[in-house]
Amino acid sequence: MPDMGAITRTTVGRFAPSPSGPLHLGSLVTALGSYCHARQRGGLWRLRIEDLDTPRVVPGAAETILKTLEHLGFEWDGEVVWQSRRFEAYAATLHQLKQDGWLFDCGCSRREILASAPHAGEEGPVYPGTCRHGLPPGRQARSQRLRVDSGLICFADGLYGQIEQSLQSAVGDFVLRRGDGVYAYQLAVVVDDHAAGITDVVRGADLLWSTPRQIHLHACLGHSPPHYIHLPLVLGNDGEKLSKRHQQDVPVSSDPHLLWQALNFLAQAPPKEMCRASAREILAWGVENFSLARIRPVDQTF
């Protein structure tokens, strides 16, 4: 009999920025946290550019992000994956979901859904189920939605602990392909994380409540989902989360001191004398000493 206890899975982490602007402090924290987590376990770290939502893609931003990461000493495994080159995989997955009865055409406009659900939750209006049993007569298909059934989705986040959500009451059947033909983030992230063999997703806590949808989609496709670890968000001085969509974002330069500050943000307490070290030295210290247990799941300023 083989010793089953000896079979261990290699950790595979990833960083998946959207190229809607240069790297900002929030994404630097995510890159660093996911990198240290994967490398400390002797694992792989992959890079994916989430350039699906073409109206929001800023020309040249992806290249700037890659260059900044490189200057900061990050090394990734394998080729960079570009979501804009993965349409065939997304289409094939939609086809499979349709055949398996999970996907349906929806003819509702955003305005109609908003009107039917005036008390929208955190994740937007809850889909009222109008088209889930077939398009009402006279309706044209616009988007495609994934069926959500009753029951709670539960998972243990590596930092935020036990998370539960009733997808049905908090979200409803959700869009996998938008009315304008764009593949939804929820679809692409699940297809790509699975294809890349990602075992540990480390990312910003703004995506904590997207995770139940992703776990449901993994289940519909017969995948076991990765582990999820959400990191606290970097807040601007006004208390708002930093995001590439907001003007106040400070683009990250290649100054290695930022890595030291990002380790500090993640409560890793890097030694003071390290603050002027090279990017490689600071990263190596981070990989060696990284501990999730030190991080408090509370958003804060940088």
- Interface with ligand GLU (CB under 6 A): 16-18, 50, 189, 203, 207
Between residues 12 and 16, which has the closer beta carbon with respect to ligand GLU?
A: 16
Whole-angstrom CA distances from 45 to 11, 41, 288 are 9, 11, 15
Residue among 113 and 208 whose Cβ is closer to ligand GLU = 208
d(CA 217, CA 188): 11
Residue closer to ligand GLU, measured from CB, 94 or 191: 191
- Are the C-beta atoms of residues 161 and 188 closer than 8 Å to each other? no
* Residue nearest ligand GLU (C-beta atom): 203
Using DSSP's 3-state secondary structure scheme, residue 139 falls into: coil
- Which is closer to ligand GLU, CB of 65 or CB of 113? 65
Cα separation, 106 vs 276, whole angstroms: 56
The DSSP element (H or E) to which 41 belongs, if any, is none
Q: How far is the CB of 53 from ligand GLU (least distance, A)?
A: 9
- How far apart CA 205 and CA 163 sit, in angstroms, is 12
Contact present, 117 and 125 (Cβ < 8 Å): yes
Please give the helix or strand (H or E) that residue 262 lies within, else none.
Answer: helix 257-265
Residue 126 Cβ, how far from ligand GLU at the closest point, in Å?
A: 22
Minimum distance of ligand GLU from residue 241's CB (angstroms): 11
Pick the closer one to ligand GLU by CB: 108 or 196. 196
Q: How far is the CB of 50 from ligand GLU (least distance, A)?
A: 4
Cβ 133 to ligand GLU shortest distance, Å: 31
